[in-house]
Amino acid sequence: MSQHIKLFIPGPIEVSPGTFAAMAQPMIGHRSKDFQNLYAEIQPQLQTLFGTKQQVFLSTSSAWGVMEGSIRNLVKKKVLNCCCGAFSDKWLDVSRRCGKEAEAYQVEWGQPILPEEIEKRLATGEFDAMTLIHNETSTGVLNPLTEIAALKKKFPDVMFIVDSVSGFTTVPVAFDELGIDVLLTGSQKALAMPPGLALFAASEAAFQRASEISDRGYYFDFIEFRANGEKSMTPSTPCISLIYGLRHQLGVILTEGPENRYARHAKLNGMVHDWVQRNGFEFFAPEGYRSKALTCVANNRDIDVAKLNANLKADHHLVIDGGYGKLKGKTFRISNMGDETEETISSLLASLDDALAKL
Ligand SMILES: *Cc1c(COP(=O)(O)O)cnc(C)c1O
């Protein structure tokens, strides 16, 4: 086996040996009672984490599948894409590629999405859907989901589509209470699983909307997901190994307890923040809007980020991220998602000190 390089990039992240072991089980037929039992067994745990009574669906795709699917299922008139970084900007592009009318509410990368700005746009009556990235992974911005959800309730006809791919299980997201219409996440971020599985919930209003749209396609058709979900099945053959891994990881998460998990992420994120300040760096995101899943560090010291990462990899067998897209070298990102502990983050920070000293 090749050298284990531990990933502190904001996805994919380190997967535990327990999760890998749980995945190494014999296949079962996806139309068998065994599969139905597996899906039904994890459903209450998924509903707890999503904060919903709706069924949580399993999609054998990366998160983008459901992000594209949400547009195809829910946009009839025009979608407002809230854009504040690479993933949210891309969603605008994807909306247009799906042949939908779409408009950006664009803020500068590093800035948050503000409820009052959304309100101005929705008040025009032009939109019947909006997309929001809860935790914009490229910039390290955590958008004010609760405030945005409160404002969105004034516009019940607008489908509220939320990507919490890198936020999910680092901070709470209550689907029912917030009035979200689609909430989606992916396996390789804070769930600490290998990539390839997306999870989502949809509201009754979302199913109603989908039923009024004829070109939903097949693979991500929400109505197919619901019809199959009623039998604890998926529309097509799912990534069964990953679902075994998910069952294991859900056990780990619920044994820790969601509240403890959020608190641990806040604490570990705070440790990284202390390191940033101790070393004279700045944060890319403004105070009050910083992610708990990762830290996007502004490279105000103009260090050689590529060299820093090369040092980390060669001497400590770990890597961080050197900045996303146009932020490459201008920022770097450190993930504290998943199963990390005070010990592993302390060790990471000591490695960073060493790699920094060797620049
Ligand atoms: C990683 C990520 C995605 C994309 O996930 P894929 O698994 O590559 O489809 C989307 N949104 C956010 C916020 C992400 O962090």
Q: Where in the chain is the domain with CATH 3.40.640.10?
A: 17-254
Residue-level pLDDT at 2: 82
Phi then psi dihedrals of residue 187, to 5 deg: -75, -30
Q: Number of C-alpha atoms within 13 angstroms, CB side, residue 227? A: 10
C-beta 165 within 6 A of ligand 1: yes
CATH number of 17-254: 3.40.640.10
CA distance 76 to 74: 6
Looking at this protein, which amino acid is placed at residue 321?
D
90, 184, 189, 321: which to mutate for ligand 1, most atoms within 8 A of CB?
Answer: 189
Looking at this protein, which amino acid is placed at residue 356?
L
Q: Where in the chain is the domain with CATH 3.90.1150.10?
A: 6-13+257-357
pLDDT per position as a tens digit, 310-359: 999 999 999 999 999 999 999 999 999 999 999 999 999 999 999 999 99
pLDDT per position as a tens digit, 13-66: 999 999 999 999 999 999 999 999 999 999 999 999 999 999 999 999 999 999
CATH number of 6-13+257-357: 3.90.1150.10
User: 0.85 cut: is pTM over it?
Assistant: yes
CA distance 45 to 258: 11
Looking at this protein, which amino acid is placed at residue 227?
A
Mean of pLDDT values over 150-158? 98
Contact between 138 and 167 (Cβ < 8 Å): no
Query: Which of 234, 196, 248, 202 shows the shortest CA–CA distance to 36?
Result: 234
CA distance 151 to 105: 16
Q: Which atom of ligand 1 is nearest to the CA of 137?
A: 15
Vertex 272: Cα angle to 168 and 113 (nearest 5): 50
C-beta 87 within 6 A of ligand 1: yes
- Nearest protein CA to atom 7 of ligand 1, as residue: 62
Residue 245 has pLDDT above 80, yes or no: yes
Count other Cβ atoms within 10 Å, centred on residue 231. Answer: 12
pLDDT per position as a tens digit, 209-244: 999 999 999 999 999 999 999 999 999 999 999 999
Q: Which atom of ligand 1 is nearest to the CA of 164?
A: 13
Query: Which of 65, 92, 73, 94 shows the shortest CA–CA distance to 81?
Result: 92
> CB neighbours of 273 closer than 8 A, spacing ≥ 6?
283, 290, 295
CA of 63 to the centre of ligand 1 (A): 6
Residue 1 has pLDDT above 80, yes or no: no
Token pair belonging to 34: 């065994």
7, 60, 62, 333: which to mutate for ligand 1, most atoms within 8 A of CB?
Answer: 62
Find the length of the chain.
359
